[in-house]
Structure 1
Amino acid sequence: MKTSFERGAPHRFSLNGETMGSRYTAVFYGPAGTDLALIGADLFAAVDRVDRHMSTWNRDSDLCRLNRAPEQAWMAIPTDLAEVLETALQVGLDSDGAFDIGVGELVDAWGFGPAPRCAGAPVLAGKEGACRPAFSRLEVDRAGARVRKHAPIAIDLSAIAKGYGVDQLARCLDGHGIANYLVGIDGEMRARGAKPEGEAWAVALEKPSVGVREVGGVMELRDMAIATSGDYRRCVTIDGKRYSHTMAPALQQPLSNTLAAVTVLAATCMLADAWATALLVAGERAGVALACARGIDALFLVREGGGVREVLVLDARVQQLA
């Protein structure tokens, strides 16, 4: 773990480390004498707990145990996993299945999970129950911290667990009495308060370019979370054709529509993360309509004529920006 310290009052601190195949960061302001070692250990413990409970890459994780569990039998799970599963199923319902955590087998088949990719372009659409949404195959008892499967399902939480991890970083700093911070894992971020001069926290938005990381804009955050889903960061090429890592559950194949990316603002990063994926899958027209109907503030980047057109949904109203 690396730390940095800048003199001045109030003091600026920065902590970061590795988690979930990426890096977490925490930038915050506090008084001199702040116990960085203690806060750093708590931050790591917070994201490590999420990784141990929800990773598909660790066969000993609680999620992998759930994926191996028999059907119709209740299984005890950690309370945080129950919270994430319940939220995921609700977003699945609210998005009419655009967000679906039951795509684990599909993710593996296309080479985006821990299992080796199938040769050629896999076809799973014909498998029994493959297109049934997760909310019809999984039952979560959050109060009892237990879950059971009503049908075969391979769960993948990669489109929501990272956002939840960011929320745990925020919760950790809240617990230490820190009122002004910006925390994140990769591009999923959550802010509280402001900088000492009253400035909002600035978060860079990437251009939707494959293989290149360039800043396409900046968004200011105050007491808000932000997450982006796109078709440009992770992809696989099969027989000369590029496929995005985001799956279209109804089609049982990688997503292919006009959207390059969707950025969502929400009260929690877990919700921002899940809804960014849901709106990306829903597509330009249905996604924009869904954001308006649900009161979700979102920026859509639409591929058009070799360029990108921006569509902003703010306060349930649509604005064409470019």
Structure 2
Amino acid sequence: MKFHSLCAGVLACALLLVGCDNSSSTQATPLVLEGKTMGTFWRVSLAGIDAARADDLRKKIQAQLDGDDRLLSTWKNDSALMRFNRSASTQPWPVEEAMSDIVTLSLRIGAKTDGAMDITVGPLVNLWGFGPARQPVKTPDEAQIAAAKAQTGLQHLSVINRAGRQFLQKDLPGLFVDLSTVGEGYAADHLARLMEQEGISRYLVSVGGALASRGTNPQGNPWRVAIQKPTDQENAVQAIVDINGHGISTSGSYRNYYELDGKRLSHVIDPATGRPITHKLVSVTVISPTALEADGWDTGLMVLGPEKAKAVALKEGLAVYVVTKEAEGFSVWMSPPFRTFLVSEKN
């Protein structure tokens, strides 16, 4: 068995910052801070900020992201999410407002994608070797898949708001909630709020494949982001967008996979079949008001496949960029709202 992944997060390098020149002038280049979190990488680019603030900002950023990881991680047994997952209780379980908000949005997107975006798919993710459990040494059989599917389903999870307190409730004791599909988006938005609290109004922040921005870059131009081509070649650009204060996220099947029994298995699991996706859709990029929304939509659309993803994008008025594998090369489709963000496309 051969495993391929640039990082534990999904497509950590699928979106690239562009548009800042390489001048040595401190006024012409952003202050860039970087680090690791959630099994992937974070990056913060700031305009008009004194480099003397770098160490203090870096510490605050890392501390906040470490807190996000302790809240949402399925890789840490003591995280808030894993305490809920390990409990067999079907009574309301108190959670932080942030987790309640994340789950509420995930359930809404799940409903609008006919269950394709399913945060209860954890047992299947683990069965196929993409969760905290070790990778399988052989393909799961029908009985194993059926058993894992029986422990999934958005209908088994509820969010309760009671007198200002937030709760999650499951009606299956073994339900396992996996928020890794939206964790990067939440963390990126959370970083954006931190920048605001620090009095910073010109920034581009990213966690894995999710980004959020505000204001302009050091040249006074909008922050621009490059969408990478679906290849293993670094910095191969498919398109460039001006995200204009929005969030953006890309999901894809071409970098996080492993080979088992002679087959290449994607990390993207279809809740309907209980198996990794096999269709020809290789990447979906979504631009939304928040990175959390973009991160949730790109996962659901990725599961649906090219035609269903396009239909949902049009119905919901989403800004979506789809890349599909063809017999020779790739084809590209974008929704009308996405065109308003497009700066250029590369062939």
TM-score (norm 2): 0.84
Amino acid at match of 1:69: S
* 1:253-308 deviation digits (Å, cap 9, x = unpaired): 11111201000000111110110011111111111010011110000001111310
Find 2:158's aligned residue among 113, 132, 139: 139
Distance 2:322 2:42 in 1: 25
> 1:224 aligned to 232, 246, 257, which one?
246
Following superposition, the deviation at residue 205 of structure 1 comes to 1.4
Opposite residue 288 of structure 1, the aligned amino acid is K
Q: Which residue of 2 aligns with 1:27?
A: 45
1:4-31 deviation digits (Å, cap 9, x = unpaired): xx65448731111110111111011235
Secondary structure of 1:279's match?
A: helix
User: Which residue is equivalent to 2:127?
Assistant: 109
RCO comparison, higher one (Cα < 8 Å, 6+):
2
Conserved 8 A contact 1:293-1:316: no
SS in 2 for 1:126: helix
- Residue equivalent to 1:127: 147
User: Normalising by structure 1, what TM-score?
Assistant: 0.90
Q: Which amino acid aligns with 1:138?
A: L
Instruction: Determine helix, strand or coil for the equivalent of 1:147.
Output: strand
State the distance in 2 between where 1:260 and 1:108 align: 22
Which letter maps to 1:172? Answer: L
* Runs of 5+ unmatched residues, structure 1: 1-5
The amino acid across from 2:95 in the alignment is I
Give the Cα separation in 1 of the matches to 2:251 and 2:51.
39
Identity across matched positions, percent: 31
- Conservation of the 8 A alpha-carbon contact between 1:190 and 1:226: yes
Deviations 1:194-243 (A, max 9, x none): 1243312121212212x443422322221011100111111011111001
Give the match's secondary structure for 2:227: strand
Q: Could you say what secondary structure the match of 1:226 adopts?
A: strand
Question: Which whole-Å CA distance do the structure 2 matches of 1:129 and 1:237 have between them?
Answer: 22
Please name the residue that 2:79 is paired with.
Answer: 61
Q: Which amino acid aligns with 1:67?
A: N
AA aligned to 2:305 is G
Q: 1:292 aligns with which of 307, 314, 332?
A: 314
In 2, Cα distance between the equivalents of 1:17 and 1:101?
A: 27
Q: State how far apart, in whole Å, the 2-side matches of 1:29 and 1:132 are.
A: 45
What letter matches 2:251 in structure 1?
S
Q: Distance in 2 between matches of 1:315 and 1:220?
A: 13
Give the match's secondary structure for 1:233. Answer: coil
Q: Is the Cα–Cα contact under 8 Å of residues 297 and 315 in structure 1 kept in the other structure?
A: yes
Contact 1:227 1:269 in 2 (8 A): yes
Residue 215 of structure 1 corresponds to which residue in structure 2? 236
What are structure 2's unaligned runs of at least 5 residues? Answer: 1-23, 340-344
Deviates more, 1:188-197 or 1:173-182: 188-197
Secondary structure of 2:90 counterpart: coil
Matches of 2:152 and 2:328, distance apart in 1: 36
